[in-house]
Every structure is written in C-alpha cells, then in structure tokens.
Structure 1
Amino acid sequence: MEFRDLKHQYAVLKEEIDKNISEVCSSARYISGPQVKELEQQLAEYVGVKHCVTCANGTDALTLALKAWGIGKDDAVFVPDFTFFSTGECPAAEGATPIFVDVDERTFNIDPDKLELAIIKVKSEGKYTPKVVAAVDLFGQPADYPRIKEICKKHDLLLLEDGAQGFGGSINGKMACSFGDISTTSFFPAKPLGCYGDGGAIFTNNDEWAAMLRSLAVHGKNAENKYDNIRLGMNSRLDTIQAAILEVKLKAFREYELNDVNKAAQMYNEALKDTNLVLPLVKENFVSSWAQYTVQLPTSVDRNALQTKLKEQGIPSMVYYMKPMHIQGAFAGTDSVNADCPVTEKLCKAVLSLPMHPYITKEDINAVAEALKINI
C-alpha cells in the first residue's frame, strides 16, 4: 500500500504526460517555454484570480510574496504554530519576526480568536509592527478566511494565504489560493496537485504586485529586458517540463481527482466512525482537497508502537507535525519562542496521517481501518 500513490497516478496519466514531456524535449525550450504561460492562465482561471506567477517551489512563493511587500526587520508576521517549517522560516529569513499562534483543535488551522489576541498583544507591547497574517490551509482545508479577513481589515494587516496543502479546497464555492491579498501554493509531488520535482505558484488580483513578483522571481529584471536588473531578486522559475506535466495533472484534478479524494475521505469517516479516534472535521460550506487524512489518537496509544504495527501489515503512516513551530531550534533565542500554544502541543503528540490519495480503494481503506481497530 502506498501512502500517496503517485505510481498509480502516473500509470493512469502516462500517455498524456509522456507526450507532453516529449514535446518539450523536442522543442528544447526547457526554461520559460509556452507551457509555463499556458499553465499560469489555467491556474488563474481555476482559482478565480487575475494573476498567477509560477516559481521554483512553495517556499520561494512565500518568500517572493514577502519581498514584494517589503517585509523585514521589526515587522511581525502571524503564523500558525502547527504547520510545516516554511511558513515561519520565510518571514524569519527576511528579517521579520514570526509570531506563532495556536490552532483550532478540530480543523488544525489557525484559531481566529487567538490570532486577534496575538495581534492586540504585539501592538500593545510596541516592539514589532504587525504587518502580515500568514494563514495556512492545512491538510487540504482552507483556513477560516471569513473571520481572518475581518481581523486583517480591522487591524490593517496584509493576508498571505499559504495554500501549499489547500489547492482545490473551497469555502462557499470560492477556491483556495484566492483568499489572500497574495496566495501561494506548492507543486511538491505529494501535494494535491503535484509535479515531478519542485514547483510553486503565486496568486493575486493586484497588478502592481504581480509585476513585482515576476521581476523578483528572475533576478529583479526589468519587464522588457532580463539583463536590465532594477532590483535585487532571486532565481525562481518553474521548468517547462514541470509545467507540461502539471497541465495534464490539473485536467485530471479538475475532472475527477478532487471528487475522488473526497469520496475516499467519506469512506474513511464511515469505516472509522465507531472508533475512539478523533476524525478530521470539515466545516460546513468548506471543501477540503485532503492533502492528508489526519486522525487524533487517544492518549493511551503509543504512536510509535502503532506505526510499527501498521508498517508490519504493509500500511504506511506519517506524523505531521511532531514539534510545534515555536520550539524549533532555529527560533531559539528569538521572541518567536514566546508562544502560548497548548492545542498545538497536544496535537503534535496525537496526530497520525493515514494513506490518502484519489486512487485509494475501498479495500485499502477498510484494511487500514481494521488494522487501527485491532491495535488501538
């Protein structure tokens, strides 16, 4: 059993993917070929925004957004404590201070009430200037943007949506990666929409920011002349081959994969409903793209021992994430460690992610459920 069965997916899409790769190789336009622009147009249309700027990976996407806004020293960026390292790493690398905020115990996303308290606290202390809320669409479900956007407007903050895991999710029909002033995603192979290497994209409706992002992504170039460098940027482009692969995978994602992965989540919910596991909750009018299907184990269960038993039965599992952001060693000695995040600390000890992808069978889901029932 595969945790995320990319081999099966390739077998299904092989003919179209191989054809697209061959066309790129025949043209020899490996960098900035026409497929990149075509993909950007398709992604912008799907998400429902004016601009899509592709880049080398999801981490660069976050960095480019922060650079476009001029985020740096003495600025505060509010980040969920329960997430992948990049969301906090990127503002810190720009010289800003990540302020880690606790999350909702059932959705795993940033808690709006605790977010506002953190903003008020930073304002009252006066050491840092609140600038950005970097919300994350964890495990596929968009964060609570109706609430978060109100808070950002109230406190005059920019909203950066980290949709690395959320592409394809939605709230009341509005797609993930369209909620932020700037939104980003990752095309890492295991993401809901993944390529065959690294890749990322940035979304915005702001013309000025889009132009800035395109410049920053290619060494700060002038729009008309790449050898006229008008600012300091970076080298962050999506390869043409990856764009050609993503065109095929986006079509499959839109036509059936998103629907099928949601069917798989419902099968898991049904198979595990009578256990003492805490199952993931998708809020009313929200749709998840199920980057992960993550349960919470009872405190009585030894997670390491359970994973070993599952592995012996050919069932892979993963822990996302086992350490809160505010106690990561990279932030030691900074004010980022001053976070009160008991929910995150609890989740880090309890979460377990199960095999999940659009091609998983009911038989595999039942096998996972039976193994869990026996061992918990």
Structure 2
Amino acid sequence: MAAAEKLAHLPGDAPIQFFDLKAQQASIRGALETRWTTILDHGRYIGGPEVDECEQKLCEFTGAADAVVVGSGTQALVMPLIALGYGHGDAVFIPGFTYNATANAVLLAGATPVLVDIDPATFNMDAADLERKIQMVKGNRNLRARAIMPVDLYGLPADYAALESVADAHGLRIVADAAQAFGGRQGNQWIGTLAEISATSFYPTKTLGGYGDGGAIMVRDKEVGDLLRSIRWHGTGDNRKESIRVGINGRCDSIQCAVVSEKLGIFEEERQRRIQAASIYNERLTGKVDGQVVGANEESAYGLYTVRVPDRDGVRASLQEKGVPTAIYYDTPIHQMPAFEQFAPPGGLPECERASREVLSLPMHPYLSEDQIHRVCDALLATLQR
C-alpha cells in the first residue's frame, strides 16, 4: 500500500493532535516491551549493547562514517565544539532564529555565538549575512572566526553548498544543528553527512524521537567519532579509569537507544507519511499562505510544517476554537532573549524578528489522516478570509 493510501485510511474524525506519540507507540509497543525485558535481564542500563546497535543503524541509514549517541540534543552540539578545541575568544556563527539550545551550546563550550540573519524563504541561515558577520568578526581583535553552526530548521537542510563556500574561503569548520531534521536530504545525501559533523536530537517529538532525552552526533571521520566517545565518558580512555582529556557525562541510556533502534525500523514509512501530509498542505495552501520553501533537489524531514500568517496570535486563537492545535517555533529570536541580548548585532536581525512575529506551525506527524489535514486547511483558510 502506498504512503498516500496509508495516510488516507487513517481515521479522520478523531480530535486533531499537534503531535501524536500514542499512535506511534501502539504500533511498536510489543517490540518495545520485549526490548525492555532484555535490558532488565542483562542489567547494562548505560553502555549496553543497545548503544552499539543504535549507532550502527544510524550509520546504515545516513551513510555517516560513524555515529555517537549521547544524552541529549544539546550535548550533541556541545561535544563537537569541545572536540574541535573551541573556547575563549572563538566565534561560532549561528542563526538568530532557532531554539535557545544552539546558543547555549556555544556558550557552554566557552566560545562566543555570533548571530546571523536568516533567508526569509527557508528560515535557514543566510549565507550573504554570514559573510558580513565574518567580516565584522575579523575587525574585532578579541574574536577569532572558527566555526559555523547552521540549523536545519523545521526539518529543511540549510544551504550547505553556499555555507561550505563561505566556510572554505575563511578556513571555518561546520557543525550542523540537525535537531529537527533527521530524515531530510539534499540530492542523494541524508542529513548526517551534509556537514562534517551533524548533531540531532531524540527528544520525543522529533522525527526520530526516544521516550526521554537523547541525541546523536554523526561524522564523516571515524577518528572524530572515537574522540567524541572519549569526551562522552568524561574524557576517559579504554579503561575508563582516568581522564586523558576534558570530557563530560554525555552518555545515552540503553533504554533510549532501544527505542530509537525500534523506531528506525518504521522510520521510512513514517517519513513518507510526513511527505504525503506536507504535499496535501502544499496543494491546499500554496499561493494563499507563505510557507517554508523546499528546493527541487532537497527533501525536508518535516519535523514541523510552518507558515507565515498576518495577525498570527489572532489566527492561532481562532484555530484553537475550531479544534485545530498549533504552536509557535519561535516567538523570540535569540538576540532578544535576556540571556543572549549582549550578542545582539548592530541593527538587529530583521528577518529573524519578522519571522518571530509571523510563523505558525500546523499539526505535523505521521499519523494525521487526509481528512484531518483538510480540516486544518479549511479552518486556516476560513480564518484568513474573515
């Protein structure tokens, strides 16, 4: 049965959920219970065989040379910066429109975030503004331009060709924040191989989520993977009794690895369902509502389906009255948050600020029915026509 047919046969009269983890759990619960019994029997709750299995399956799916599972998506961002040796005086360029974890990761590593505006069509880092910010840092004697941390927002890969061109011109490394984007790709390359180092999150509502916190770092170089494994376990070597470098507790529990491995078994089916759901949204809304632009040679993972609307808060309230849940990712750009306002660039970030006023995310998960998606579109279009 094709993905479109599977989507059409799901029940349409049930209440619409923004995320639906219960439906997914029902499809794999028996297998999960078997896995949990196995973990209880072997008793290796941290560092069990499930960890190796999960890392191998991540490599098989993405084509990465290595994958290192960790305790959270934030750890997956911090650890590569530690591995690359970044710290005081090192500038890491991040988009100003993202979750606060991106900025926190840079600061936790001891480096300085430099905020870059976004492309209004994709919501991802704007390569032209990145170039301007690099030139600004080069004029600052207290900072060294070292790395770029693009975010694959809502599931859409950043413009890696453009970003790599800038990075190569200035000798910068790229560490990708792919927390929302496992399952996206450009051409024949999956997220996980589009940058030399890519971090993703296993937070439950992500495209590949566990049942708690977790994450993974996917790399092109196996030696980097080995270094990250040491950092993951307090910088220890093979005997784990003494630190040979500075590290952290970045371990992921065996139970979360078991959940992620089981979900990888149904991931492609779920990915196709997300694509089908997005295609219905696109058919109904294109030309009537501005949405995230996905290029011809790329696929979004559709961690979120996000549009721009006028009077966003009023539209959201109206949809809620109609039984349509929505969410806002994000209503405050990084440079306007109290913790990070010291890093606000002169003149602000106009496109980040505009997006924060306009974006609205609609229900998106693999267990939406076609009828439910049409109900969302009907409600949204009716609200906009008032």
Is TM > 0.5 for Structure 1 vs Structure 2? Answer: yes
1:113-192 pair list within 5 angstroms: 113-192=128-207
Corresponding residue to 1:250 among 264, 280, 301: 264
- Amino-acid identity (%): 38
Shift in Å at residue 30 of structure 1?
A: 1.1
What is the distance in 2 between the residues matched to 1:121 and 1:304?
36
Shift in Å at residue 109 of structure 1?
A: 0.5
What is the distance in 2 between the residues matched to 1:102 and 1:89?
18
Corresponding residue to 1:197 among 212, 226, 235: 212
What is the distance in 1 between the residues matched to 2:347 and 2:92?
13
What is the distance in 2 between the residues matched to 1:153 and 1:54?
28
Query: Could you say which residue in structure 2 is the equivalent of 1:64?
Result: 79
1:335-346 pair list within 5 angstroms: 335-338=343-346, 340-346=348-354
Q: TM-score, normalised by structure 1?
A: 0.95
Secondary structure at 2:290 match in 1: coil
What is the distance in 1 between the residues matched to 2:274 and 2:354?
27
Contact 1:137–1:162, Cα closer than 8 Å, also in 2: yes
Query: Could you say which residue in structure 2 is the equivalent of 1:263?
Result: 276
Shift in Å at residue 346 of structure 1?
A: 0.5
Q: 1:58 to 1:66 in 2, by over 3 A?
A: same
Shift in Å at residue 342 of structure 1?
A: 0.6
What is the distance in 2 between the residues matched to 1:152 and 1:339?
24
What is the distance in 1 between the residues matched to 2:141 and 2:298?
36
1:266-288 Cα distance to aligned partner (Å, 9 max, x none): 0111122353x212211110111
Shift in Å at residue 137 of structure 1?
A: 0.5
What is the distance in 2 between the residues matched to 1:212 and 1:69?
10
What is the distance in 1 between the residues matched to 2:19 and 2:343?
37
What is the distance in 2 between the residues matched to 1:113 and 1:284?
21
1:83 and 2:91 aligned: no
Shift in Å at residue 337 of structure 1?
A: 4.6
- How many residues end up aligned between the 2 structures? 369
1:319-354 Cα distance to aligned partner (Å, 9 max, x none): 00011111111123x344546311111100000000
Shift in Å at residue 151 of structure 1?
A: 1.1
Task: Give the residue type in structure 1 aligned to 2:216.
Answer: A
Corresponding residue to 1:311 among 314, 320, 325: 320
Q: 1:338 to 1:69 in 2, by over 3 A?
A: farther
Shift in Å at residue 150 of structure 1?
A: 1.4
Q: 1:340 to 1:21 in 2, by over 3 A?
A: same
Query: Could you say which residue in structure 2 is the equivalent of 1:44?
Result: 59
Shift in Å at residue 12 of structure 1?
A: 1.6
Contact 1:326–1:338, Cα closer than 8 Å, also in 2: no
Secondary structure at 2:99 match in 1: coil
Deviates more, 1:360-369 or 1:202-211: 202-211
1:8-58 Cα distance to aligned partner (Å, 9 max, x none): 111122222222222212222211111110110110121111111110000
Task: Give the residue type in structure 2 aligned to 1:367.
Answer: R
What is the distance in 2 between the residues matched to 1:86 and 1:212?
22
Query: Could you say which residue in structure 1 is the equivalent of 2:378?
Result: 370
Secondary structure at 1:148 match in 2: helix
Secondary structure at 2:45 match in 1: coil
Contact 1:21–1:245, Cα closer than 8 Å, also in 2: no
Shift in Å at residue 155 of structure 1?
A: 0.5
Deviates more, 1:171-180 or 1:186-195: 171-180
1:348 and 2:356 aligned: yes
1:233 and 2:241 aligned: no
What is the distance in 2 between the residues matched to 1:271 and 1:357?
18
What is the distance in 2 between the residues matched to 1:195 and 1:240?
11
Contact 2:100–2:334, Cα closer than 8 Å, also in 1: yes
Contact 1:99–1:339, Cα closer than 8 Å, also in 2: no
Shift in Å at residue 231 of structure 1?
A: 2.2
What is the distance in 2 between the residues matched to 1:115 and 1:67?
23
1:233-273 Cα distance to aligned partner (Å, 9 max, x none): 1111111111111111011012x111110010001111223
Shift in Å at residue 90 of structure 1?
A: 1.0
Contact 1:293–1:354, Cα closer than 8 Å, also in 2: yes
Structure 1 alignment gaps of length 5 or more: none
Deviates more, 1:348-357 or 1:42-51: 42-51
1:288 and 2:300 aligned: yes
CA RMSD of aligned residues (A): 1.3
Task: Give the residue type in structure 1 aligned to 2:293.
Answer: L
Task: Give the residue type in structure 1 aligned to 2:261.
Answer: E
Structure 2 alignment gaps of length 5 or more: 1-15
What is the distance in 1 between the residues matched to 2:25 and 2:329?
25
Contact 1:97–1:336, Cα closer than 8 Å, also in 2: no
Contact 1:166–1:288, Cα closer than 8 Å, also in 2: yes
1:216 and 2:228 aligned: no
Corresponding residue to 2:114 among 93, 99, 120: 99
Secondary structure at 2:339 match in 1: helix
Contact 1:31–1:240, Cα closer than 8 Å, also in 2: yes
1:205-252 Cα distance to aligned partner (Å, 9 max, x none): 223322221111111111x21112222211111111111111110110
Contact 1:107–1:280, Cα closer than 8 Å, also in 2: yes
Q: TM-score, normalised by structure 2?
A: 0.93
Secondary structure at 1:329 match in 2: coil
Shift in Å at residue 162 of structure 1?
A: 0.7
